[in-house]
Amino acid sequence: MRDRGESPASTFATSGSLGALMRAIAGAFATVIGHERERSALRARLAKIASIVPVAIFEVRTTPDGQVTMPYSTPAISDIYGHTPEELAADVSLTASLSHPEDRPRVEAAMRESMQQMTPMHEEWRVRHPTKGEIWVEVSSTPEAQADGSVVWYGYFHDITARKRMEETLRERVVTQKKRERQIRFLAYHDALTRLPNRTLLLSRLRQAIAHTQRSNETLAVMFLDVDRFKTINDTLGHPAGDVLLQQVGRRLTETLRIGDTVARAGGDEFLVLVPGLHSPEEARPVAEHILATLSAPFSVAGQTLRVTGSVGLSVCPRDAVDVESLIKYADTALYLAKEQGRNTFRFFSPDLDAKVRARMHLENDLRTAVDHDQFLLHYQPQIDLATGRISGAEALIRWLHPQRGLLLPRAFIPVAEETGLILPIGEWALRAACLQARAWRDAGQPRLRISVNLSGRQLNGADIAGTVRRILAETDCDPRVLGVEITESAAMEDPREAITVIRALHDLGIEVTIDDFGTGYSSMAYLKRFALDRLKIDGTFVHGIPDDKDDVAIVQATIALARQFRLKVTAEGVETAAQRSFLEAHDCDAVQGFLVSPPLPAQDLRELLEAAIV
């Protein structure tokens, strides 16, 4: 028992805890009951303590018949429930109505347990304050049984909203940090765009698959796949659309294959596929066929329906190799062959294939060196004007003077140049060389001779070819009237709308524009009408059969008639016999070229031919 001179406030100051404060207040109440003469003074002291303590102290009584009252609470109770102590003393049910519905069952259960076992209760719950919104309170109370059968709880409410918010902030930070760590771990082994395994994870799985294959005597297929002509999609629709397509390709590949197979993005538009558990190399064939068939179904990208194809190269473990690097390398080698043989197909690796691809890679490296060291030259095949019998123009045909292999014709290197993009610098070189030659002949007093230069599909689509031609004409001081460009029908029809714009821009420069190989590219008459053309060139495959082959005769006659309707001139290439020339002349063809006239010649030889006026 404390002395009469010891106040509750001094007890709280000594203990320094809310529990000590509660005991002091309870003792104070007991003293008040026992000492009526000191009641007023003690109440004043209690009121002073209550005014400085940042918690709401309360007394709740429960009678044997279940009546609940709150006869006493400190003013701080208003900060918790928004009602004064007097209001709560009159109607304690206000506290229940303001408790959060989700917390109420838990709190009621804790109160019942405390009363049944006469043990202290410590809980945290939410209160919906009328003006402050939702707040968190800490509640601690101790029950005491009374002689009349009632139970009295002495306790306190403490606003812990700030602490709860801090705890929530800390939890969110922990969750965010863990999420970031998971994301870092994920990105270390997965591609950020497609969410597929990346090369690192694939190599790990491939090592495991090789080890399993060697133990089980099974077969493992490694497939290298890429999307055919993906660059064209990027150039025409934009990189975001290209990214969406890659994501869809990745999902489709994953859905196509078995759960135990692995689809990984190797980079760019290339994917690697591991197919373990095969009984023979031939079992990989239907898998590759199924992949290609799956990719051929239309994709929806950027509001457009796209149809794409893929090429696949396969290597097989253990037949081809039993190490990671070789299997991937051999699959890549087989992919080269699949693309070289027309795309939308698959090829297995073989030692002969390896040698062929190595040769192609050497050719690509040599071609890059040729671009850097100016190893190209132009030959010129003259074109005869059938009305005058004179040379009216010449087609510039590129040659590669290879340091070891000698003079190479276009078919030996142009396909590689197209595939690698080297056709752009090579094509610009050819345009410049032709303009310089035309100016040289002009300066030498030669008759004006139009030189036609072939443009590739890559130059026509995605490159500012009109700007390039304009710049070269200015730099070489070349008259645009002596320059012509020839565009294959198939190249023009890859993107007809773009071709219309480019051809008009070239035509506006004053140069002659010819559609080459006409009849082989299935061009629409509607588009042909909109092309700003000057000339059609009949492909040599149709000229070869005239005048005996009825089909070739009909095609040539129809082409000349069509050209006349569009007010275009006509040149026939591949003319090798006098009968062919006579037929073309009789049917109103404007010009011919071919070995009957002359093979392609170096510039000096063509000059001599011009000077001799040979027809």
> Can you give the three-state secondary structure of 62-81, one letter per residue?
ECCCCCEEEEEECCCHHHHH
Alpha helices (runs of H) in 18-92, residue ranges in sequence order: 18-34, 39-52, 77-81, 85-90
pLDDT for residue 244 = 94
Q: Going along 351-478, which residue ranges are E strands?
A: 376-385, 390-402, 406-408, 450-455
Question: Is the separation of the CB atoms in 27 and 118 below 8 Å?
Answer: no
The confidence score (pLDDT) of residue 9 equals 39
- Let me know: does 310 contact 344? Beta carbons within 8 Å: yes
Query: Cα dihedral angle (224, 228, 231, 233), rounded to 10 degrees?
Result: -130
3-state secondary structure of 409: coil
CATH topology of domain 8-161: Beta-Lactamase (3.30.450)
Quote the CA–CA distance of 597 and 381 in Å, as a whole number: 9
Amino acid letter, residue 71? P
For residue 584, is pLDDT > 80? yes
Confidence band of 359 (pLDDT split at 50, 70, 90): confident
Residue 211: per-residue pLDDT:
93
In this prediction, residue 25 has a pLDDT band, given cuts at 50, 70 and 90, of: low
Superfamily of domain 195-349: Reverse transcriptase/Diguanylate cyclase domain (3.30.70.270)
Least confident of 483-487, 527-531, 544-548, 596-600: 527-531
* Predicted TM-score (pTM) of this structure: 0.56
pLDDT beyond 70 at 523: no
Q: What is the pLDDT of residues 382-408, one digit of tens each?
A: 999 999 989 999 999 999 999 999 999
- For residues 10 and 402, what is the distance between their CA atoms, to the nearest angstrom? 106
pLDDT mean over 331-356: 86
- In CATH terms, is domain 381-396+423-612 a member of 3.30.70.1060? no
Most confident of 9-23, 311-325, 407-421, 517-531: 311-325
In the predicted model, is pLDDT for residue 75 greater than 90?
no
Q: How far apart are CA 376 and CA 413, in angstroms?
A: 11
What contacts 438, CB < 8 A, 6 or more positions away? 449, 451, 478, 479, 482, 483
What is the per-residue pLDDT for 408?
94
* DSSP state, residue 16: -
Residue 47 has pLDDT above 80, yes or no: no
- pLDDT-derived band at 212 (thresholds 50, 70, 90) equals very high
What is the predicted pLDDT for the residue at 334? 92
DSSP SS3 for 278 = strand
Question: By mean pLDDT, which of 153-162, 186-195, 353-362 is the weakest?
Answer: 353-362
- Residues facing residue 153 across a β-bridge: 60, 143
pLDDT at 31 over 70: no
Q: Is the pLDDT of residue 370 over 80?
A: yes
How many angstroms separate the Cα of 122 from the Cα of each of 50, 143, 267, 439, 491? 21, 12, 59, 100, 82
Q: CA–CA separation, 221 vs 219, rounded Å?
A: 7
Q: Which two tokens stand for residue 81?
A: 């429930």
Q: Under a CB-based contact definition with an 8 Å cutoff, are residues 158 and 30 in contact?
A: no
Task: Flag the least confident range among 48-62, 529-543, 592-606.
Answer: 48-62
Banded model confidence at residue 569, pLDDT cuts 50, 70, 90: very high
Question: How many residues comprise the chain?
Answer: 615
| Residue 360 confidence class, pLDDT cut points 50, 70, 90 | confident
Query: Could you give the CA distance from residue 533 to residue 514 in angstroms, rounded to a whole number?
Result: 6
Per-residue confidence at 346, pLDDT binned at 50, 70, 90? very high
Q: What was the pLDDT predicted at 493?
A: 78
Q: Are 38 and 49 in contact (CB under 8 A)?
A: no
Q: Establish whether the linkage from the previous residue to 318 is cis, with ω within 30° of 0.
A: yes
According to the model, what pLDDT value does residue 444 have? 84
137 contacts 158 by C-beta, under 8 angstroms:
yes
* Run of H or E residues at 57: strand 56-62
Q: What average pLDDT does range 294-309 have in this prediction? A: 90
Give the chain's mean pLDDT.
86
Mean pLDDT in residue range 331-353: 87
pLDDT band of residue 22 (cuts 50, 70, 90) is low
Please give the pLDDT value at position 585. Answer: 93
* 463-522 pLDDT tens trace: 688 999 999 999 999 999 999 999 888 888 777 788 888 889 999 999 999 988 776 655
Q: Are 220 and 316 in contact (CB under 8 A)?
A: yes
Q: Any idea where the domains of the chain sit in the sequence?
A: 8-161, 195-349, 381-396+423-612
CA dihedral 464, 468, 469, 472 (to 10 degrees): 180
Strand partners, 538: 518, 572
Question: How many Cα neighbours within 13 Å face the side chain of 511?
Answer: 31
pLDDT of residue 615: 39
Nearest to 511 by CA among 538, 490, 532, 488: 532
Whether 155 contacts 22, CB under 8 Å: yes
Pairing mode, strands 262-267 and 270-278: antiparallel
Strand partners, 572: 538, 592
Radius of gyration of the chain from its Cα atoms, rounded to whole angstroms: 45
Residues paired with 72 in a beta bridge: 59
